[in-house]
Amino acid sequence: MKKFIFFIIAAAMSFSAYAQSWTASGSSLYSPISSSSYVGIGIVPAYKLDVNGKLMLRTVDSQNSVSRSYIHWESGALQLGTPYNVYGTNYVDLKPGGFPGTSQHSVLRMYYIGSIGNVEDNIVLNSSGSSWFMGGRLGVGTKTPTTLLDIRGGIRGSELKICHNTNTSGPDIQLHFQGNCWFNNDGNVGIGTTTPNYKLDVNGAIRANEIIVNTTGADFVFEGGYHLMPLGEVKEYIEANHHLPSIQSAAEMQQNGVSISELQTQLLQKVEELTLYILQQQATIETLQNEIRELKK
């Protein structure tokens, strides 16, 4: 009984000493305690202010008693801004990883609440997972981005995919330099054109030191059974069509373009046909020369 009475007296004295360290001034309460003192709420303090539990710092609208901004710590998450689910407000949610009952990675979310129940994740930074940015323009290497993503510098990666609009079935990549460079889902590349119909479709001039084109060649001209059109028929064809046999007309070339591989094969074919014509004429010349010699004997 004596021990219990002693405990009550000691507790009362302690409370009295503690209470005397706080001073009321109007609606304010302050403590003139020394700089070496600590304040603990729900815990023996190890810091100037040590709180074990939820923490809320807020400003309240005096007209309707609604919190307009706050700092809130609860369940391993720090929230800054206006309370969740209040119309037309923004707040930041930071969840450091590694807390008991939480994932091992950290997530930073910046929300915008356009209407009650409609919460938009405008910015999400995830240390292990998907991240996204849905708020205006983003500049990398620049403070004044002029497009949704404005990068001033090099880009390096194993894959780059850019959709020119929200329609993911459209062209994957559209790049603008001094013209258009377009990559579509068919695997075609267009330079100077937005509708490439070939693997590389260029609307403009191309300059290169060397171009290698796969071709079949024209050795078939020298194989047995090849029909060499007589020169008389060649003459008639040219007079009627104004171009060589097996070669497109100028009008067709201007309208459809030409296949370099096909044209090279056709031109080589004509060169080899010319060689056969020359050999035939040489044979005829030699025959005539022999006949002339016989006549001179």
pLDDT for the residue numbered 222: 93
pTM reported for the whole predicted model: 0.44
- Tell me the C-alpha distance between 281 and 163, whole Å: 64
Of the two residues 193 and 291, the one the predictor is more confident about is: 291
Lowest-pLDDT range, 68-77, 163-172, 205-214, 232-241?
A: 163-172
Residue 265: is its pLDDT beyond 90?
yes
Task: Pull the structure tokens for residue 134.
Answer: 């849905």
CB 212 within 8 A of CB 266: no
Going by their DSSP bridges, the two strands 89-95 and 23-25 should be labelled as: unpaired
219-234 average pLDDT score: 93
DSSP SS3 for 223: coil
Which residue carries 């807020």 as its tokens? Answer: 58
**pLDDT value at residue 106:** 79
Nearest to 31 by CA among 20, 46, 42, 41: 20
Which token pair is 82?
A: 């206006």
Between strands 200-202 and 28-30, the pairing is unpaired
- Per the rule left: phi > 0, alpha: psi between -120 and 50, beta: everything else, 242 is left
In the chain, where the domains are located? 55-154, 165-207, 219-296
Q: What is the mean pLDDT of residues 59-81?
A: 68
Q: What's the rounded Cα separation, in Å, for the pair 125 and 97?
A: 13
